[in-house]
Amino acid sequence: MTESSEERVESVGRVDDIPENGGLVVEVAGESIAVFGLDDGYFALTNVCPHQGGPLGDGKVEDECVYCPWHGHQFDIRTGEHGQMSQLDCQTYEVEQRGDELFVHL
Ligand code: FES
């Protein structure tokens, strides 16, 4: 679903689709995105790790961070910030919940 010419809002699935302690990987508008659930809401990061392209959505989630499955770099799920190197901060996307359905703003 596209809502404006400047910002795209795309459905990415339902809240129940998000695995416990993991991410839901979706392909939206040519982007691979990982959607995560925390206690107070839903957040999305690029699924492509800024280090060497690992699949962040397959990483382990712990303490509101995701650990890339390839080399273990740590990213804050809320902000996309790398735990130690700001040059490796990753792209975030706003997630909107409407009922049980989740939408990502691109
Ligand atoms: S590719 Fe993600 S930590 Fe290396």
Has residue 1 been placed in a domain?
A: no
Residue with tokens 């957040």: 43
Each residue's pLDDT tens digit, 13-47? 999 999 988 999 999 989 999 999 999 999 999 99
Q: What single string gives the DSSP state of each residue in 23-65?
A: -EEEEETTEEEEEEEETTEEEEEESB-TTT--BGGGSEEETTE
Give the pLDDT confidence score for residue 21 in this predicted structure.
87
- The ligand 1 atom nearest the CA atom of 59: 2
Rounded distance between C-alpha atoms, residue 35 and residue 44, angstroms: 4
Question: Could you tell which of 47, 70, 84, 85 is best to mutate to test the pocket of ligand 1, judged by most ligand atoms within 8 Å of the CB?
Answer: 70
Domains of the chain: total: 1
Q: Write out the residue range of the structural domain in which residue 47 sits.
A: 9-105
Gap from CA of 2 to ligand 1 centroid (Å):
32
Element (H, E) at 97: strand 92-98
User: Is 37:97 a contact under the CB 8 Å cutoff?
Assistant: no
pLDDT tens digits for range 67-79: 999 999 999 999 9
Flag whether 39 is in a domain. Answer: yes
